Amino acid sequence: MINNEVRKWLIKAINDYKSAQKLLAQPEEDIITDTVCFHCQQAVEKMLKAFLINHDIEFGRTHSIEYLIKLCSTVDKDFERLYKITEGLTEYAIDVRYPEEFYIPSIEEAKEAFSAAAKVKEFVFKKLKINENDLK
């Protein structure tokens, strides 16, 4: 079973995941793609951090998915599979949040970001040997 800190990180990750999922369920013209991509990035980041916390690995202040995967890979080499799946997600942590970078992802990019988040969710939960119901 996971400890309370890991559980809290995963609850926050699932909230980001569900937010992206609900936004993508809107009619296409109403989908706010930058927000979808941001929530997908945040969900992945928090899931990876939960895994690291579960293994007592420090990660500092970072939004870098690549760096977090590298740290996770020190515990389990299977995490290296996530590099390809999550390619480009880190940019959504900053680039879509501030107007000076002004970038609006396409619907296709938003769907790809959500697909990546779904795959990471399944992967991390399997590695932690839990399911979403364990967080309630």
pLDDT in tens, the chain (136 residues): 789 999 999 999 999 999 999 999 999 999 999 999 999 999 999 999 999 999 999 999 999 999 999 999 999 999 999 999 999 999 998 766 667 767 889 999 999 999 999 999 999 999 999 999 888 8
CATH number of 4-129: 1.20.120.330
Q: Of all helices (H) and strands (E), which one includes residue 78?
A: none
Of 118, 115, 95, 99, the residue nearest 107 (C-alpha) = 115
Q: Which of 83, 81, 97, 84 is nearest to 39 (CA)?
A: 97
Integer Cα distance of 97 and 128 in angstroms: 31
For residues 71 and 52, is the Cβ–Cβ distance under 8 A?
yes
The pLDDT score that the predictor gives to residue 96 is 67
Note the pLDDT of residue 94.
78
Alpha-carbon distance of 34 to 96, in angstroms, equals 6
Per domain, the residue ranges of the chain are 4-129
The pLDDT assigned to 136 comes to 82
Distance of alpha carbon 67 from alpha carbon 11, whole angstroms = 22
